[in-house]
Structure 1
Amino acid sequence: MEPPSAPARRGRVPWQGLLLAVSLLTFWSPLTTAQLALEFMPSNAAEWEDVLFLAHNLPEDLAGYAWFKGGRVDSKRQIASYKIDTGVNNPGPAYSGRETIYPNGSLLFQKVTLEDTGYYTLQAIKTNFHNEEVTGQLRVYPELPEPNVTSNTSDPVEHKGPVVFTCEPEIQDATYLWLINSQSVQNSTRLELSKDNRTLTLLNVTRNDTGPYECDIRNPVSASLSDPFYLNVLYGPEAPTISPSDTHYRSGANLNLSCHAASNPPAQYSWLINGRPKQSTQEVTIPNITPNDSGSYTCVVHNSVTRLNGTAVRTITVSAPCGRGSFTEGKKQTCSRASCFFCH
C-alpha cells in the first residue's frame, strides 16, 4: 500500500483576490427568496490567512448590516456595523482592527489566529426592522511543524520486549499516520497503534525491523513528515562456523582456520586448542604443523551486549611424514584434499 498523499501546502489567498469576489457578488445579486446564508472562503483557514465571510441570499429593503462574534446578536460582542446610505463602517466592542464590512454584507477578516476560531453572526438590518440573522462557524488551524519520532529504545535486543515509538509533538485536531519502509501501518499481530495513532508499538522485534520509521501529521490545511528513524537491533551470536572444512593435513603444511558468527555488535572471537587458550582473534594460523598439532580446535564467540556465547569445534588430524620404505605393501592409501601421505 502506498503512503497517503499529503495535501499541498496552501498558498496565502491575497486580500485583493477576496475583494474581487466581493465586487463580483456586489454587482451580481439576483433577487431570491432563499434563506440568508454564509460561506467562508476558505472553508478551513490556516493561521495568519485572510478569510472572507460571504453573505448569500440577502433580503430586500436593507438599511445595513452588523457582525457579531458568537452564535447570537449581542451588542457587547459586536464586531462592526455598516450603514448602506452612508457607506460607513462603525467598529464595535469586539472589533480587532482586522475586520472590514463591504456593501454586500460580506466581512473580510485579515490574518486570522487560532483564537478567532468560533461562531460568527450576521444581522441583516431591514428598513422595516424585521431583521434576519444567520450564524456560521470559522475553523482556523495551525501550519503544522515538522514532527519527530522518539522511542523507548533505539538499540533493542532481538526478541526482548517491545519498542514503543511516539510521534512528537502532540497537536490538537491533527491526524497521525505511521510509515514503515514507506508503507502505511495498520494494526497486526506485531504492530499496535494507540487510539489517537500517535504511538506505535512494535512487539517481538527482529533483526529485520531496522526501519525506517516515519510519522506523518496532518490537518485540513497542511501536512508534515518526520525524518526517518532507524533501529539498531542487537542480536546473536548465531552458531559459529569454522572454515575450511578440511580435517586432515600432512605434516609441514600451514594450518589456517577462520571462524564466523552473525552478530550485532560484531562478536568477539577466541580459540581453544585441546582445551587451552590460544589467541583472541577470528582466525588461527599455525605454520609448518606437525602431528603434535593434532586435536580439537574450538572457536568461542561472545556478544558483549546480548551476553550470549556460542562455540564450534573442529577436530584436526596431522599425519606424520613417511620415510623411505615406510609404506606397507598392499595397503590402500587414504587421501584427503590436503594430503595422500599416510604411513602404515
Structure 2
Amino acid sequence: MEPPSGPASRRHVPWNRLLLAVSLLTFWTPPTTAQPTIETMPPLAAEGSDVLLLAHNVAKNPLGYAWYRGERVDNSQLIASYRVDTNATTKGPAHSGRETLYPNGTLLIQSITQEDTGSYTLLVTNDDLRTERQTGHLHVHPVLPTPVITSNNSNPWEHKDTVVLTCGPETQNTSYMWWISNQSLPKSTRLKLSEDKRTLTVFNVTRKEKGPYVCETRNLVSISHSDPFTLDVLSACTTEGTGPQRPPQEVVPLAALSPRPPYLMPGHQLPSTRNYYTPTQMFTVISATKQMWVLSSSRHVSL
C-alpha cells in the first residue's frame, strides 16, 4: 500500500514581480476629471451690486450649460440654459430679468437683493452626453442705513439724571461703536455699554458728557455714521464753579414805564428798590442814566 501523498508545494512569487504589477496598475489607473466649481465674484456681495457666478473646470467642448435656483436640477427652478452649437439662450421660469448667461457658463446677476440669497446649481452637458453638476451659494449682505441716536432724556439735570443713548435701527451681523467729541469713549465708571454696544448709559451726567455723540455701524460690506447728537445738560450755574444765574436785564426807555421813575440828577443815589410797569411786564430798577434805566424783568434785585 502506497503511503499517502504529501500536500502540494506552494509556488512563491518573487517580491520584485509583485512590485512591478502594482506599479503597472498605478500607471494604468485613468486620471480623475476635475469637477466643475463655482466662485462668487466679488466674494462679499453687497445688496444693490452686481455679482458673477463663475464656472471653473468646465469641459473643453461642452454641449451646453444650465443654471437652476436651489440645490436640485428642477425644470421649475431653471434660470437659463445655453446651447453651444446654436449659440442660443433660453430663459426659464426662475429668470427674474436680471440674469445673463455667458457662453463660458458664467452667470451674471444684476442689482442683487436679499431675496437672491441662496443656492445655485450649474449643470454641464458634455459632448459625450454625460452631465456634471455643481452647487454654489450666494449670500447677499445688506448695506447699512444711516444710524440714528435716540435718548431717554435730552435735557438731563447735571449730577442728577442718568441718560440712556440708543443707536438704531438694530440689524443682524452688525457691530456698533460710539464716539464722543470726535474721540473714542474714555474709560469711566459713569459710562457703560450694553453687551451688543447698541446702548450707551451715562450715569449722573455732567456737562463734560454733553457730546456731541456719534454712533458708527459696520458690517462686512458697509460702514455708516449717525448725525452728531448733543445733550442739553441743565444746571443752576452758568459755568462750573460760579454762583446762581443772574436774571436777564433789559434796557427800557423812560417813557415806557408807568409810574414814571423819578428824574435822576448827577450825584443822586437811586431810591430803594421800586417796581415799575409796562402794559405787559413788571420791572425793577437796578441802575440808571439820564435817558435809560437798566431793569430786571424776572426777579427783585436789591441794590
Please say whether Structure 1 and Structure 2 have the same fold, judged by a TM-score greater than 0.5. Answer: yes
Aligned pairs for 1:54-133 within 5 A: 54-133=54-133
C-alpha distance in 2, partners of 1:68/1:187?
54
In the other structure, the counterpart of 1:333 is none
In the other structure, the counterpart of 2:251 is none
C-alpha distance in 1, partners of 2:51/2:147?
27
Partner-residue secondary structure (3-state), 1:82: strand
C-alpha distance in 2, partners of 1:51/1:186?
42
Structure 2 length normalisation: TM-score?
Answer: 0.64
C-alpha distance in 1, partners of 2:187/2:52?
42
Partner-residue secondary structure (3-state), 1:76: helix
Please say if residues 186 and 193 of structure 1, whose CA atoms lie closer than 8 Å, have aligned partners that are also in contact: no
Q: Aligned residues, how many?
A: 226
C-alpha distance in 2, partners of 1:134/1:190?
56
Please say if residues 35 and 132 of structure 2, whose CA atoms lie closer than 8 Å, have aligned partners that are also in contact: no
Stretch of structure 1 that moved more, 78-87 or 136-145: 136-145
Cα deviation, residue 156, structure 1: 1.1
Please say if residues 237 and 267 of structure 1, whose CA atoms lie closer than 8 Å, have aligned partners that are also in contact: no
C-alpha distance in 1, partners of 2:199/2:58?
49
Please say if residues 89 and 100 of structure 1, whose CA atoms lie closer than 8 Å, have aligned partners that are also in contact: no
In the other structure, the counterpart of 2:49 is 49
Cα deviation, residue 214, structure 1: 0.2
Q: Does residue 1:184 correspond to 2:180, yes or no?
A: no
Cα deviation, residue 198, structure 1: 1.9
Deviation sequence 1:178-223 (CA, Å, 0-9, x none): 1112223488532222233222112231221111100112233322
Aligned pairs for 1:179-258 within 5 A: 179-185=179-185, 189-237=189-237
Look up the equivalent residue of 2:43 and give its one-letter code.
S
Deviation sequence 1:37-96 (CA, Å, 0-9, x none): 222222223333221111112134522111111233222211111112222111111011
C-alpha distance in 2, partners of 1:149/1:123?
49
Richer in strand (by share) = 1
Cα deviation, residue 163, structure 1: 0.9
Please say if residues 144 and 222 of structure 2, whose CA atoms lie closer than 8 Å, have aligned partners that are also in contact: yes
Please say if residues 81 and 101 of structure 1, whose CA atoms lie closer than 8 Å, have aligned partners that are also in contact: yes
Look up the equivalent residue of 1:181 and give its one-letter code.
S
In the other structure, the counterpart of 1:165 is 165
Q: Does residue 1:150 correspond to 2:157, yes or no?
A: no
Please say if residues 117 and 139 of structure 2, whose CA atoms lie closer than 8 Å, have aligned partners that are also in contact: yes
Cα deviation, residue 137, structure 1: 2.1
Partner-residue secondary structure (3-state), 1:123: strand
C-alpha distance in 2, partners of 1:96/1:133?
22
C-alpha distance in 2, partners of 1:75/1:224?
42
